[in-house]
Amino acid sequence: MNFTLLILLLTVVGTIALALLFHRTSLGRIVHERIPDRPRRRLFVASASFFITFAAVRGMVFCITHNIPPFHFIEVGGRHIHHLVIGIVILLLVGYGWLAELGTGADDTSLFLSRLMSILYGVGAALTLDEFALWLNLKDVYWSPQGRESIDAIILFGAFLSASAWGAPLLKVKKG
């Protein structure tokens, strides 16, 4: 199985698993109770999927660079395709979906669709920012000291995303 199919498979399976975990489970109810407004819940779900995706992709790239099967780089016609390309495509699709008001709560769109779009946003952002140093340096510096710029971007954006959702409302004890 090549890396492209593996990333797509993990993205789909992970997205479905997270969506189901937050839908009609005790974890979903806790999130719903502790974070009462829908935009903040979307931020929480996006944040969780962002960090999970980042950890999974870093693990896969480690396996690839250390020749641990079945992981391989994405190659199309002899050209290496970085995972930020998949992230950008996902972000474009989510952006289009939100422009069309899918999963925003602006109409009768379902809670499941809202969470699905949030999960995909977190996945796309993680795949894209994981290679931030590549954008900045216009060369592959993933494991070099310059690659630290990607980690910094992940930390900054992850903190921003998390602070938007995980702050006081999640930590507040529900009375009554």
Phi, psi (deg, nearest 5) at residue 75: -130, 130
Prediction pTM value: 0.80
Q: Report the Cα 128 to chain-centroid distance in Å.
A: 9
- Higher-confidence residue of 171 and 36: namely 36
Please list, residue by residue across 68-100, b when 16 or more beta carbons sit within 10 angstroms of its beta carbon and e when fewer do. eeebeebeeeeeeebbbebbeebbeebeebbee
Q: How many domains does the chain have?
A: 1
Q: Report the Cα 69 to chain-centroid distance in Å.
A: 24
Q: Mapping DSSP to helix (H, G, I), strand (E, B) and coil, where does residue 157 land? A: helix
Average pLDDT, integer, range 88-117: 84
Does 169 score more than 70 pLDDT? Answer: no
Does 172 score more than 70 pLDDT? Answer: no
Average pLDDT, integer, range 64-90: 87
* Whether 120 contacts 95, CB under 8 Å: no
**Position 167 confidence tier, pLDDT thresholds 50, 70, 90:** low
Within-domain flag for 176: no
Within-domain flag for 155: yes
Measured distance CA(61)–CA(171) in Å, rounded: 34
111 is in which domain, residue-wise? 3-170
Within-domain flag for 91: yes
* Whether 11 contacts 41, CB under 8 Å: no
Average pLDDT over all residues of the chain: 82
Measured distance CA(119)–CA(149) in Å, rounded: 24
pLDDT digits (tens, 9 = 90+) for 4-60: 566 667 766 776 777 777 767 887 777 777 776 778 888 888 988 899 899 988 988
